[in-house]
A and B are shown apart, each in its own frame.
Chain A
Amino acid sequence: MENLTFTLKKKTVTIFLIMIAVGVLSLAFGFFGGIEGKRVAANLLLNIYYFLSMGLIGLFFVTVHTIAESGWQTSVQRVGEAMSMFIPVGGILLVLFFVLGGLHSIYPWTHSDHLDAILLKKVAYLNEPFFYIRLVVFLGVWVLLAYYVRKTSLALDVKGDLKYFSKMRTLSAIFIVTYAITSVVSSWDWLMSLDPHWFSTLYGWYVFSSMLASGFAMLILILYLLKRMGYMQHVNDEHMHDLGKYLFGFSIFWAYLWFSQYMLIWYANIPEETVYFYVRHKYFSDVFYINLILNFVVPFLLLMTRKSKRIFGMLVPVSIIVIIGHWFDLYMMIMPGAVGGEASGFGIVEIGLTIGFLGLFGLITFRALTKAPLAPKNHPYFKESLDYHTHY
């Protein structure tokens, strides 16, 4: 049997630390380099939300497969668990961000002294105390569940008792149900309310689909890195193929929801809705198309064949493109409302901060991977996962 204990090399840690340093420096540049505060705040929100969501998708990956009782994913389950360990970090950062002025700087509805007629109607929901209550509830639930899922999973591995397996299933069900609600509502709170006049019922699911695609891309990327480091040899082409199918499928799913939302608003052309895309067309037309190309056209065309899903040579570049693509998708969701058409931009702050957060996310995830064997050998479906081959 291969080596299941992952050790983080110094060199790798150094790389992550350098990335974090780049992030800190560009943040400093943002604050002192004449960049508008709103833009810096919006970038912070973007990255915190993006990587927090990746952590959540990691947890989602583990839990959804647990309740679906599928066997194949057990061999990559640890990666998902490790990703989920970013949730507490991201959560704290998010709270800090809101508390330390982020909320006031980019959310128009917080300026309670000059609200217009429409916003006054929404005060019962869009007010700060309630916002913070929701924030704490969402993050609290996520952190607790991430912690317990991880703990139970490790216990199952150590003790091999099937009662942990059934506890795992219960926890997973609880997470899926709560996440179904909290992911939607949190996206209204943190993203949709940046354009407080605008509304779309699909929004929550749209954001979720975006995060789903990018989360799986990240999972593939981490798996690839692990394999390059010589670990995870039990993961074969078939597993990669399945993950590739997810990436392919979720990219199409994202495009489907994007189209549904866009087309319906385009079609009815009601000003209270079109205002959202109007601004995006006017000031962000480049990003508008980049978004579609990176997130739909590229994965759709490149991952269509069976072969492309089975080789890292194709899967990894596509994953990177998708991660970049959904970063732009979030950019599209956040910037017009938070910063506005004129003040938005793309430069050192955007790139640097993202690198920094990527480093932080990588560090946390990889450190989490060192804490447990890379494969849950005592998982009842682990054997199934090894003896796993598909014909398609």
Chain B
Amino acid sequence: MYVSPLREPLIKGAKDYSQVTKDILAPMAGKPSKYWYMGITLSGAAALFGAWATFMTVYYGIGTWGLNKTIGWAWDITNFVWWVGIGHAGTFISAILLLFRQKWRTSINRSAEAMTLMAIACAGFFPLIHMGRLLLGFFILPYPNTRALWVNFNSPLLWDVFAITTYLLVSLVFWYIGLIPDLGTVRDKATGKIRKAIYGFLSFGWTGSARHCSRHETISLILAGLAAPLVLSVHTIVSFDFATSVIPGWHTTIFPPYFVSGAVFSGFAMVLTLLIVARKALNLEDYITVGHIENMNKVIIITGSIVGIAYITEFFMAWYSGVEYEQYAFINRATGPYAWAYWIMMTCNVITPQLFWFKKIRTNLVATFIISIFVNIGMWFERFVIVVTSLHRDYLPSSWSMYKPSMVEVGLYVGTLGVFFTLFLLFIRAFPVIAIAEVKSVLKSSGDNKKDVHHE
């Protein structure tokens, strides 16, 4: 396929297929590095902190948190939405960029999808732990029971159950289906017998047959076609958790697309955070190039700006509506006791990403890394602002209240971060972090050596 010479190569260095295999499999081989051990110790410790917090919550109750009669959700749902949002990048990259024929996705989709799965697992933890009676959590499943009682299909939380489950399963399948050819590669490159047997088992008997390849491509594409609306639906449904209510600051129609945009925004930020470190640590700079980073930064500007427009729309509409409760909710956001959270959100989400309009900044790795962290923080605060600031002063001033997190809540959040990074570190060792077969398929058209191939 012809590619305009104007385009920058997606893979640097004149690689051949074998070199690609070698480069990408390198991080899986040999003993892990010192830094890997340090990382997993740190993240493991964080996960243990989370385990303690989980015990406290289940044994003593939600009272170990900082919630009260007015503020029924705070860090729990903030974290939930934050993690779900992060879990959007992978599928967005794989599905939507695939549908939009963005070839640069091939270098980042594998790790982004893995990150998605881990983030969804972390996200799913919060709706569970936030239940006052976790042990009865199975009530939310529509199973036949002696009381002939079913669930409430009107409840957005129930929709969440379906959405998150479906998303997790479909993402898992999507990721694994994409992984099969690469697992074949790992199998064939493996030296040890056990390793060969394990990857032989995992590779589902992949041989690279043209028939398989063709159908594999079809199924990947249809899965992408299914995953694209799915990814929109998931954060849409998460936004319904708030938007269906009558609480000022929660009930607003812009939430579905605005949440989706915010999710992609935060997801890309997290991918950047991880990959800027990973590409260096794993020597994959030739595959995840500055061009890739720049492209992701462009997505960040777009989604960040959409989110910004949504913030302003909401604010304007609160005034325009003439509804005193709406108006107060937004004035309170900007000037009330939690105004600091609002301004952190505004700064991190609306202002800092605008720096990416400058090519110098969006191609600078350090700057990108810092801004990606800012966005992660900003998006966390966005959810905090929506959840807590809206709740703490709603309709009846008699019930207005304040919220302060407890150590247990901190523990749960840090714990999921620990689990997330632990899983990511294990993933690096167990699976190829870049989709080998997909990179090979674009190597000819978008590799550095393409000019040698195409001399028309």
Direct contact of A and B (CB under 8 A): yes
B380 to A: closest C-beta gap in Å: 22
Report yes or no: A380 in contact with B4, Cβ–Cβ below 8 A.
yes
A387-B6 in contact (CB<8A): no
Q: Is A199 close to B, CB under 8 A?
A: yes
B313 lies within 8 A of A184 (CB): yes
**Interface 1/0s, chain B 86-102, versus A by CB < 8 A?**
00000000000001110
Least CB distance from B200 to A in Å reads 29
B257 touches A260 (CB 8 A): yes
Please encode chain B, from 197 to 221, with 1 for each CB lying within 8 Å of some chain A CB and 0 for all others. Answer: 0000000000000000000011001
Q: Is the CB of A180 within 8 A of B306?
A: yes
**Residue B337 interfacial (CB < 8 Å):** no
Judge whether A118 is part of the interface by a CB distance below 8 angstroms. Answer: yes
Q: What residue of chain A has the Cβ atom nearest to residue B251's Cβ?
A: A268
B221 touches A392 (CB 8 A): yes
CA distance A267 to B154 in the complex (A): 9
Number of A-B contacts (CB under 8 A): 99
Name the distance in Å between A96's Cβ and chain B's nearest Cβ.
27
A201 touches which of B101, B154, B229, B313 (Cβ 8 Å): B313
A372 on the interface (CB 8 Å rule)? no
Closest to A121 in B: B322
Residue in B2, B243, B320 whose beta carbon sits within 8 Å of that of A264 in the complex: B243
Whether a CB of chain A sits under 8 angstroms from the CB of B406 is no
Contact A384 B101 (CB under 8 A): no
Chain B 227-254 near chain A by CB (<8 Å), digits 1 or 0? 0010010001000100111100001111
Partner of B246, one of A121, A180, A263, A268: A268
* Distance between A194 CB and nearest chain B CB, rounded to angstroms: 14
- Asked whether, in the complex, the Cβ of A381 is within 8 Å of the Cβ of B6, the reply is yes
- In the complex, what residues of A have CB within 8 A of residue B26's CB? none
Which A residue sits closest to B315, measured CB to CB? A201
* CA of A126 to CA of B343, assembled, Å: 29
* 12 additional A-B residue pairs with CB within 8 Å, beyond A69-B7, A184-B313, A202-B254: A121-B322, A122-B322, A181-B309, A203-B253, A245-B99, A257-B256, A257-B257, A260-B253, A264-B240, A381-B6, A383-B2, A384-B3
- 6 nearest interchain CB pairs? A201-B254, A202-B253, A387-B2, A260-B256, A121-B322, A267-B244
Point out residues on B near A: beta carbons under 8 Å.
1-4, 6-7, 99-101, 154, 217-218, 221, 229, 232, 236, 240, 243-246, 251-257, 305-306, 309-310, 313-314, 317, 320-323
**Can you sample 24 A-B contacts with CB below 8 Å?**
A69-B7, A70-B100, A71-B4, A118-B322, A122-B320, A197-B322, A199-B320, A200-B317, A201-B253, A203-B253, A205-B254, A260-B236, A263-B240, A264-B244, A264-B251, A264-B256, A267-B244, A268-B244, A272-B323, A383-B4, A384-B2, A384-B4, A387-B2, A392-B217
Residues of A within 8 A of B (CB): 68-72, 118, 121-122, 125, 162, 177, 180-181, 184, 188, 197, 199-205, 245, 249, 252, 256-257, 260-261, 263-265, 267-268, 270, 272, 380-381, 383-384, 386-392
